[in-house]
Amino acid sequence: MVKVAHVQLCSCCGCLVSLADTYEKLLDVLNSIELVYCQTLADAREIPECDIALVEGSVCLDDHHSLEVAEEVRKKAKIVVALGACAATGGVTRYCKGNQMSKPVHSSFSPLTEVIKVDLAIPGCPPSPEAIVSVITAALNGDMEYLQPFAEFAE
Ligand code: SF4
């Protein structure tokens, strides 16, 4: 059974909604995966060891907890996936410096890919449910040829 975690950093939850939209298609692979962590579904405190972590949102550089979560997920997950534009390239949070969205709590954001080593990145704001399912299925099947573009995008 492949252990999958969903981890949320500074995000709008849109990626999670897109992930939820995959559920019907994920039925095909549900016998192969176990959702071991999802802050939105349960009051989970510590990220467990897992095979795949889907991480959405940017890292808030002036928030130690955000940085700690990013580092913890790298230690605990065999495959870290930057889910969506915020985690992959910064997305809308690229434009949050100094404006009303970022103040007064956070003033600086960075995409996950610039804070820790990320193995795969799924673009889109939000990423399409089809893309999420395709990447998870390819990872389950070890289809490295299909995953190659997502790995390059993560570099
Ligand atoms: Fe929200 Fe888009 Fe960022 Fe996902 S990529 S957290 S949908 S703003």
Walking along the chain (155 residues) 10 residues at a time, the average pLDDT comes out as 90 86 70 82 82 94 88 97 95 65 61 96 92 89 94 92
Does the Cβ of 123 fall within 6 Å of ligand 1? Answer: no
Ligand 1, atom 4, lies closest to the CA of 15
- What's the domain count of the chain? 1
Per-residue confidence (pLDDT) for residue 94, from 0 to 100: 74
Inter-residue contact 118 to 80 (CB < 8 Å): yes
Per-residue confidence (pLDDT) for residue 50, from 0 to 100: 95
Per-residue confidence (pLDDT) for residue 103, from 0 to 100: 44
Does the Cβ of 90 fall within 6 Å of ligand 1? Answer: no
Per-residue confidence (pLDDT) for residue 82, from 0 to 100: 97
Inter-residue contact 97 to 108 (CB < 8 Å): yes
Per-residue confidence (pLDDT) for residue 21, from 0 to 100: 80
Domain hosting residue 66, numbered range: 2-154
Distance 126 CA to ligand 1 centre (A): 5
Per-residue confidence (pLDDT) for residue 92, from 0 to 100: 84
Task: Name residues whose C-beta falls within 8 Å of residue 45's C-beta, 6 or more positions apart in sequence.
Answer: none
What distance in Å separates the CA atoms of residue 21 and residue 8, rounded to the nearest whole number? Answer: 17
Task: Name residues whose C-beta falls within 8 Å of residue 34's C-beta, 6 or more positions apart in sequence.
Answer: 1, 2, 3, 4
What distance in Å separates the CA atoms of residue 67 and residue 106, rounded to the nearest whole number? Answer: 13
CATH, residue 71: 3.40.50.700
